[in-house]
Structure 1
Amino acid sequence: MSEGETGAARRRARDLGLRPGVFPPGALNAITDVAGVLVGQVTRIEGDFTRTGVTAIRPHGGNLFRERVPAGLATINGFGKLAGATQLQELGELESPLVLVNTLSVGRAVEAVVDWTLAQPGNEAVLSVNAVVGETNDGRLNDIRARGLEAADVRAALEQAAPGPVAEGSVGAGTGTMAFGWKGGIGTASRVLPAALGGFTLGALVQSNYGGALLMDGHRVGEALGRFYLREHADRGDADGSVMVAIATDAPLSDRNLGRLALRAMAGLARTGAAFSDGSGDYAIAFSTHPGVRRPQPRYEDWPNERMSPLFVAAIEAVEEAVLNSLTMATTVESRDPLSRRKRKGEAIDLDAVRAVLARG
């Protein structure tokens, strides 16, 4: 059995010899290397049709509505349904966790996040909550019209959110997603800056569901393996899709500089060969966990503009590697089309084939 078909043999990008960028990863090489960040996931695989899930990111374990974190948003192609985006842009802060689901589950997820937030001790008099819910469309493998994801799944992901290792690949909100013609999913990575540059940690988490011509640390893997957008000048359907990126850092950044940081996620996606096509929704949200910049009363002067460049590089590198991990850790997912009942298959990229491409240089 090839490594494109078995979960037991899946490997992260670094285990294949890929080393994107110049900065070292954190201990877990995950968004949870940023102290205080919690991730929870629920995966729904049921019968022949349901292949979906939810991924929840909590910037800290306290009452986020009372201790809001500064945040910035970047969009390069806005074909998506990012709930809460305009208030996030207007105020530059997160007052709810960031939840990722499939396209047609955004409404239920918003209600679940609102209910969960209102139920937090201290929020008894709250009359408005800006629930931030992102999505990608997993309808190629999941019966998305059935809307099998329940509010209880979202609440479970929020309650189960924890520090530590983050499951990757065909899990959570990445259960039914595709990327570059192969099975995509959830991926994460991190970078640690040296003390001379601030000593900060930055982590990224992606929900990959987009396309183009796959690059892996500069290696033209998509072309070598014969799967890429515009092959033979014909659209093979491997470009449209979406990607959601979450970036966390413990650097004391303003929402303005977090917006600049989020924009650099797009450079990380470009390094993977993203096409940023007409039908793709490409979003990134960056937030700071530094206690001194929490709202409503920041107590810390934010990091100066002229020292932002190393963080920009770290964001680019972490996003690139997170995407690679989403592919190399994904397992093959099979389902049936709810109308035709025909079998559908999201094939995991074959790691032996990837190694062969890398060996050729």
Structure 2
Amino acid sequence: MSHAPHLRTPSGKERARALGIPFAGEPGPYNAITDVPGVAVGYATLIKGEAVRTGVTAILPRGREGVGSPCAAGFYSLNGNGELTGTHWIEETGSLALPVGITDTHGVGLVHRGLIDWIGANYPALAEKWLLPVVGETWSGYLNDINGPHIQPLHAAHALDAAARGPIEEGSVGGGTGMNCYQYKGGSGTASRVVAYGPHQYTVGAFVQANFGVRTELTIAGVHLGDALRDDNPMSSVRAADAPLPGGSGSVIVVVATDAPLLPAQCKAMARRVSIGLGRTGTSGGHFSGDVFLAFSTANEGALRSDFPDGPPGPDEFDTLRFIPWGRIDPFYAATVQAVEEAVLNSLTANEDMVGRDGHRSPALPRDQVRKLLAARSAAE
């Protein structure tokens, strides 16, 4: 198998492994959330003039053919200064049946509307019941005219129509277009890990929309680099609402997928482990960052449905869930942590400088400098 997808995105941008960063665990063929069978990801990217830097990301847990078929799911909020719609129903039923949208903070309602419109057009019988789409957000206001009417429902439809399996682009694409991470250009990133379970192999994939972190916190492969990378940090002097823009503000949405059979509570437990993966990159989870995570399992297809009942229940009308025993769950936690850490670093590496509204500039991670710093640390050891 060629390892080119591990090193570069489909457009040729470097990924974190191209910098020589050592990562634990075995990645899947594409080192992406789309290594989980059935999962598809699509983008709508809006870059216009000097002030529009935004977009929409769509994640379809079972692809187009599986819309409406529930997955076991759970979510976790590390810090609630953010939005992820539909979580009350996930908490109630332990299931996720619709595509997930990710965008900027002030585009949530429009993307929510767009998901409903797309499902109504493509799955009218499903839309006749009720729809509670899941839409997450991070704040793009440093680079993007976030209050302008740029995101529209049709962009959600474009992202859904573009959703595909296989290798996916990273960096300034989709909902990640206007985002920053550790006060560098951030955005969309993904990674995966393969977990052996007796004779079986399962995959855990993570997708991040990374818009968080203070520069001085940045840690790569256990090496604290933030102090050595203080230079060229234009975000540190920006003011918002007549006050300095707090370092680390902005938020991060993380979606974790797996084909391992899990209970909803186990999905929620995996979502909690996202916090550890983020922590490995240095963040302390600031007050002005909404850090909200979703995990789902594509196993047990056909279970966890909430269909309208028709007549009395049949004698064998029961759902059955097959699941990993709790005592065997730790390798899946480790895979989650590893994939999230690498996905964040991919979102940073697969990027270039961007200038947006009011001339605000977000510098790209200085890849050559990172290579040198990591090599020097390795030589010293």
What TM-score do the two structures reach when normalised by structure 2?
0.86
Cα distance, 1:193 vs structure 2: 1.2
1:188 pairs, out of 183, 187, 190, with 190
Match of 1:289 in 2: 298
d(CA) in 2 for partners of 1:172, 1:66: 23
- Residues 8-36 of structure 1 deviation map (CA, whole Å, 9 limit, x = unaligned): 88411111111222x21001000000011
* 2:28 is the alignment partner of 1:19: no
- 278-287 vs 117-126, which deviates more? 117-126
Cα distance, 1:149 vs structure 2: 1.0
Match of 1:45 in 2: 47
Check 1:128–1:292 CA distance in 2 against 1; reply closer, same or farther (3 A cut): closer
1:316 pairs, out of 334, 337, 341, with 337
* 8 A Cα contact 2:44 2:159, kept in partner: yes
* 8 A Cα contact 2:263 2:321, kept in partner: no
Match of 2:229 in 1: 225
Matched residue type, 2:19: L
Give the secondary structure class of the aligned counterpart of 2:154.
helix
1:259 pairs, out of 265, 268, 271, with 268
- Residues 307-357 of structure 1 deviation map (CA, whole Å, 9 limit, x = unaligned): 1100000000000000000000022111232xxxxx111111110111111
2:176 pairs, out of 174, 177, 190, with 174
d(CA) in 1 for partners of 2:368, 2:325: 45
Give the secondary structure class of the aligned counterpart of 2:269.
helix
* 2:356 is the alignment partner of 1:335: yes
Check 1:147–1:273 CA distance in 2 against 1; reply closer, same or farther (3 A cut): farther
d(CA) in 2 for partners of 1:278, 1:270: 15
Cα distance, 1:360 vs structure 2: 1.3
Matches within 5 A, 1:64-83: 64=66, 66-83=68-85
* 2:375 is the alignment partner of 1:359: yes
Match of 1:305 in 2: 326
Give the secondary structure class of the aligned counterpart of 1:280.
coil
* 8 A Cα contact 2:111 2:153, kept in partner: yes
Q: Which segments of 5 or more consecutive residues in structure 2 lack a partner in the other structure?
A: 1-9, 237-243, 306-317
Give the secondary structure class of the aligned counterpart of 1:247.
strand
2:361 pairs, out of 336, 345, 349, with 345
Give the secondary structure class of the aligned counterpart of 2:44.
strand
Match of 1:32 in 2: 34
- 189-198 vs 204-213, which deviates more? 189-198
d(CA) in 1 for partners of 2:325, 2:284: 33
Cα distance, 1:118 vs structure 2: 2.4
How many residues are matched? 344
* 8 A Cα contact 1:336 1:344, kept in partner: yes
Cα distance, 1:195 vs structure 2: 4.2
CA RMSD of aligned residues (A): 2.1
2:207 pairs, out of 200, 205, 208, with 205
- Residues 152-186 of structure 1 deviation map (CA, whole Å, 9 limit, x = unaligned): 11101011101011100011111100111100010
Q: Which segments of 5 or more consecutive residues in structure 1 lack a partner in the other structure?
A: 1-6, 338-342
* 2:287 is the alignment partner of 1:271: no
Check 1:76–1:293 CA distance in 2 against 1; reply closer, same or farther (3 A cut): farther
d(CA) in 2 for partners of 1:152, 1:140: 24
2:220 pairs, out of 216, 221, 235, with 216
d(CA) in 2 for partners of 1:147, 1:84: 24
Matches within 5 A, 1:53-68: 53-62=55-64, 64=66, 66-68=68-70
d(CA) in 2 for partners of 1:250, 1:84: 22
* 8 A Cα contact 2:67 2:99, kept in partner: no
d(CA) in 1 for partners of 2:197, 2:269: 22
* 8 A Cα contact 1:252 1:293, kept in partner: no
Match of 1:3 in 2: none
